Each structure stands twice: as C-alpha cells, then as structure tokens.
Amino acid sequence: MLALLATRQEVPACMPEEAVVSLSPEFGAGFSGSAGVQIHRGGTQWSVYSQIQSVSIEENNRLSIVSRCRGTEIELTHRLGLDCDSDVLSASTELCNIGDSRLSVEQCNAPSIPVPLDYNKILGFQGRWANEFQLQPVDRFMGTYLRENRSGRTSHDSFPGVIIHTEQTNEGSGAAYGLHLGWSGNHRIRIDEQFVGRSYAQLGELFFPGELSLDPNQSYCSPVLYGATTNNGLSALSRCFHRYVRSHLTDARMAGKAKLVHFNTWEAMYFDLTPMRLQALADSAAEVGAERFVLDDGWFKNRKSDCAGLGDWTVDKTVFPDGLGSLIDYVHAKDMEFGLWIEPEMVNPNSELYRAHPDWVLSAPPAPLILSRNQLVLDLTRTEVQDYLFNCIDVLLNQYPIAYLKWDMNRVINQPGNANGRAVTHYQTLALYELLSRVRAAHPKVEIESCSSGGGRADFGILGYTDRIWPSDSNDALDRLTIQKGFSMFFPAELMGAHVGPKDCHITGRSISIATRTGVALFGDMGIEANLLEMDNEEKGVLTEAVALHKQHRQLIHNGDLVRLDTSKRENSFGIIAANQQEAIFSYALLNSPATTTMGRLRFRGLDEHTLYKLTIVWPSPASSIPSSSSSSILDVINGSVVSGEALMNVGLQLPIMQPTSLLVFHLTS
C-alpha cells in the first residue's frame, strides 16, 4: 500500500526509475546523493548493491534486516526498534566484511530517514564554550545542509541533533521530526534536498582518513540514531525523548533516587584551596541546604594552576597533609555527601606521568604537539594507559568514601594519532566508554557527571555511563535560560546541572539578582557555585529559600512533562506538569525591556481545561519584591486564587510591570 501511494512519474533527464532512499542508499543502485555506506578495497569494490537475505522480528518491537552485496562482499544488518511508551525509534547499521581481504570504510551512517517535502524548516544547534545549545533555525534549501564535528567529543558548536519541521510548527502544535546520534565522538549531520523533489537526513560517525578498516569477518556498528515524530509541536517532540531517556538510558540504580543539591568549590576558590576555607564553605553550604559538597580542580599533586599535575592522581600533601579524609569527615558531619573533580583523559607535560611516559599521548608527527589549556590527550586505546587510569581512580574510591565524580575533559583532540600513526578518534571514544564502564562496575554506587569544558560531551551515548550532564561553564542566569532551553530539546531536567553562580558572573561580568539566579537554577539538577563566604545575610537567606523551594518541588521538576511556551525574544517561559495534570510549576522570565509599557498575557499550556487550579506565586518570595508601578499589580490579587485550566490557557494571566532580568515562578494545584 505504501509503495502504491508513493508511485512517482519519470523525471525528465533522469533515470526511468529513481534509486530509492533506502535505509542505506546505494551507489550501485544508481543513487545520486550521499550513499549510506561508502567502502572500497584498494580503490575497487566500492559500488554497493545489496539484496535482502532475511527479516526477523524480535521482542519489544525490534526488527532486523540482513542484506548482502556480492560485488563488494559485505553484509549489512539494519536494526530498528520502536519504543511504544515514548514513540522513539532507535536505529543502527552494522557492516560486516565477508570478503577475504581488508575493507576500507569511509562512511557507515545510521539508517537514512526520508523527510517529507513540506518539512521545510531545519532547527539545528550552534554554540561555543560558555554558550552551548544555541538553536539555529534554517530554511531547508535545495542542496545539502551539513554540520561536521572533528573535536573528538560531542562538541560545543555542533550538537549531534537536529529537528526538521513544517512552516506552521511551534512549541504547541505542528509536525516535526527529531533526530539525535547517540555518540560522544566525531559525527556528521546531513540533510539533502534533491532537485527531483526528495529529501532525506543522514547522521553518522565521521572518520579521519584511513581511520576505520575491517579485516575479514570483522564488523563495525554505527552509533544509534534516536528519532521521534509528532504532530503536536516541539514540546511534544521533546517529551518523547525525555520519556525514552528516563525509561531506557537512566541507570536502574538511580530509579527513585532524589538528585541532591550540589555545592561546587570551583568559582568560590579555583586553585586557592586550604582546608580551613573549605571547611568554612562546607559550613555555609550546609546552612543554605546543600546535600553534596564537590571539591573541584586543585586537590592533587602539584596542582597550583592548570599548568601542572594532570595525570598525577594522588592528593597534594602540601594542601592536605593527612589526605582528604579529614575534609570528607567534616563534610559528612554536615550531612552532605562528598564529590570530587577529575580529568583522567588528560596530562600536563609538567607531571610525573608525562615525564615517565611521554609516548602515552595522542600525536600527529612530524607536526609538533599542540598544547591546549597546557595539556595533552592520553591515548586511551593503549591498554597500559587504561589500566593506569582505572587503578588511580579505583584507589581513590577505595581509600575515600566518595559518592560522586565530576568527570571533565577540557580540550579538543586536535591530533588524534596513536603510536603507529593511525587516526584513532573512533577507538578513543570506545576506550572512554570502556574506562567509565570499568569504574561503574567496580563502584556502582558512585554517580558520575559528564563535563567537558561545560557542555562539550552531552549525548545519549555518554548517558550509558554517566548520571548527570554539565551543560555549560557559564552560570550567567540569562545565558543559562537559552542554554537550558536548547538542552531541553532532547534531555530532561533531572540530567541538567544548573548552578547558582556569583552576583557578578565570572565569565560574562553581568550582575544579576540572587532572585533571578536562583529562579533559573531551580529547574534542573540544582547546585551552587558562588563563594558563600562573600555573600551577605540577605543573599544567603534568599538562596536558602530557593534551595528549600527546589527540594519541595524537585519530584515534579525531575519527573514531570515539559512544555515550552512560544514567547518573544525578550521573554523565556516554560512549565513542568504532572502526568495527571493535577499539578504544575511554570517559570516566566523577562530578559530585556518590553516594547510596551504594560506587559502582555501569559497563556499557560498543558493543563486540563476542566480542572480548577489554585494559582500560587512561589518565587520570588515575597512576590511583592517584583518591582511594579505605584498601583496594585495582578500579583497582589491573583496569588492564591482559583482559576480554571481553560481560562489560564485560552485567556491567560495579565503579567505585571516587571524590570528586565526578573523572573516569576507559579505553582498550580488542582
């Protein structure tokens, strides 16, 4: 039936019958676009033309299609799975060399996705350090939309996800496809529109020259492509991915476990660590309600700056003469867990490890080694490097009761060559997964955060080994609103580290009120990264109230359904709604001065129109701290009132007069 409905006429100046946009489009079939699998044997046997050998249906809506190409002597296995609870498709392509000689692999994408012609808008991702997950809308065009990443990690500037949608699509309605490649290394996103009126999307791993070849009977499997489609807008698309992450990618040991409020020492102390100041910070962190104390960079041997020490994972006795035990005991006495920052994949030339093993780093001779942040990248594909790093981490976790690791990676892999001169980014990524897997197996209770100069390693692949993602090193609350919006397109709130930074942001220099800084951090895995010893009592009081508010509502925030509201560029608004629609929490932020003297209306979404909701303004506290005119604002009369879901969604709430960079949080209960 589907083939019948797709019958096409012969296109002038083209083949009588066009090659299909198959799961892996083939050169041998006459496909004129980008072939899904591109291989050769010394320049021959490059034209793939496969035929299906078997189709098998497995449990849980999973399908395997095995095809063979006699000419190139390869076997392809396409695996497709559809999760009924989330409506998320998972798809991969496995390539096996069934010939007698080595097979060179230039490309093996995940299955290609045909795109309807009226899905003429592309919502991609761009960014940089401290400004990740920026949405990049592009009108689809005849030709190729291409984003490539060669950073050796997921990257800050080219997140491996894309949304393709129709002209009419917004947050609340309209048709869209969402596609994400679950891979923490190099990748390529390609969307082609052909002149014959067809379009398709391809996502796959990107290889350096000669990086991947297969010996006889050896196989390669592409990263998994995760896809979802909806006719109900971008927020509904995100909820599909959120449900999938919660049910399939969140480790079972985290089920039902509350995500603890962090205090992280980095922006409070940087490298200037002393036990006395750390204890004072622990006192203040406990006072404001933190539940986990994370000691960031600077704790290990010779680490007085970022110029030395990486690779030498033993405690610096000049700072901690008796090790970390007394500090950890002090933190535990304050009813907080203890966490620790590490960056295992890197080494400083000024380190005992590098002086002993200068050959353990990735390189590209005869080019000189490229330093970045005064560090080089260890070759994790070497067994001795893997064992050394695992043993260092294992000793730390056995010696001390550490509940949490912030696993960082602070540079791009610019020269991904091993000792034999071969590019190994693919194998480096697999080796990272293996190292993380070993650590988790040996210490299953330890939670691990994926950090890479902020959001440089955020994808569904790394979620198989970690429990939290750090989206950005910027704690600027206004920047965080856009970063967290982009992050939410594919990731749920409980995975998103969201910290309250200092009044004057260390990265942007912008000064933002404590009410707004805390109001933004409420809606993730909340933490604090400001110097509490420099806060006055008023600021600490507001922070304490915000932490208590987060704890009160984190069950909803970390399990509810996200709805983002369509707003102007001057505003940011979203809500998180309980599955039964009997409770919700909404945020509204004014980023810049409004165009009109009075504000417009906030129209909620996702509520049950037949339910009466008690509307409470829970932030800032008190709500009257929002500046207004001399007359009463709606905040003075609406707080605690009962309003129908129908009225809240269709008529909306008149917003008060607000100053830029201020924020409101509404709590609704049936």
CA angle 299, 450, 270 (to 5 degrees): 30
Please give the structure tokens belonging to residue 131.
């400004």
Task: Name the active-site residue from 83, 312, 473, 525.
Answer: 473
Nearest to 581 by CA among 558, 556, 602, 603: 556
Sequence-distant (≥ 6) Cβ neighbours of residue 461 within 8 angstroms: 182, 183, 184, 223, 224, 433
The rounded distance, in Å, linking the Cα atoms of 496 and 484 is 8
3-state secondary structure of 302: coil
CA–CA dist 549, 546 (Å, integer): 5
Q: Please name which of 546, 529, 548 lies closest in space to residue 587, comparing C-alpha atoms.
A: 546
Residue 220 exposed, middle or buried by CB count within 10 Å (0-12, 13-18, 19+): buried
> 3-state SS string over 625-648?
HCCCCCCCCHHHHHCCEEEEHHHH
Q: Chain centroid to CA 493: how far?
A: 11
Cα–Cα distance between 422 and 123 in angstroms, integer? 35
Q: Cα-Cα-Cα-Cα dihedral of 640, 642, 645, 650, to 10°?
A: -90
Q: How far apart are CA 366 and CA 388, in angstroms?
A: 27
Amino acid at the residue 541: G
String of DSSP letters for 498-532: EEE--SB-TTT--B--HHHHHHHHTTSEEEE-S-G
The rounded radius of gyration (Å) of the Cα atoms in the chain is 26
Tell how strand 74-83 and strand 62-69 pair up: antiparallel
- For tokens 């690779």, name the residue: 311
Determine the Cα–Cα distance for residues 72 and 91; give it in Å rounded to an integer. Answer: 23
User: Is 441:434 a contact under the CB 8 Å cutoff?
Assistant: no
Cα separation, 557 vs 26, whole angstroms: 46
Strand, coil or helix: what is 15?
coil
| Catalytic site includes residue 473 | yes
Provide φ and ψ at 246, rounded to 5°.
-65, -35
The single residue listed with the structure tokens 């984003």 is: 147
For residue 185, how many C-alpha atoms fall within 13 Å in the half-sphere facing its CB? Answer: 20
Cα distances from 91 to residues 63, 104, 203, 418, 587, in angstroms, run: 10, 23, 11, 31, 35
Is there a contact between 475 and 500 (Cβ–Cβ < 8 Å)? yes
Pairing of strands 187-193, 143-149: antiparallel
* 83 is annotated as an active-site residue: no
In one-letter notation, the amino acid at residue 597 is: T
Counting Cα atoms < 13 Å in the Cβ hemisphere of 252 gives 0
How many CB atoms are located within 10 Å of the residue 241 CB?
25
Residue 198, C-beta contacts closer than 8 angstroms, at least 6 positions apart: 18, 21, 114, 117
Place of tokens 């009588």: 16
DSSP secondary structure string, 376-410?
Answer: EEB-TTSHHHHHHHHHHHHHHHHHS---EEEE---
Amino acid at 626: I
How far apart, in whole angstroms, are the C-alpha atoms of residue 569 and residue 3? 44
Contact 440, 484 (CB under 8 A): no
Q: Catalytic residue among 87, 312, 316, 408, which?
A: 408
Any idea which residues carry the catalytic annotation? 408, 473
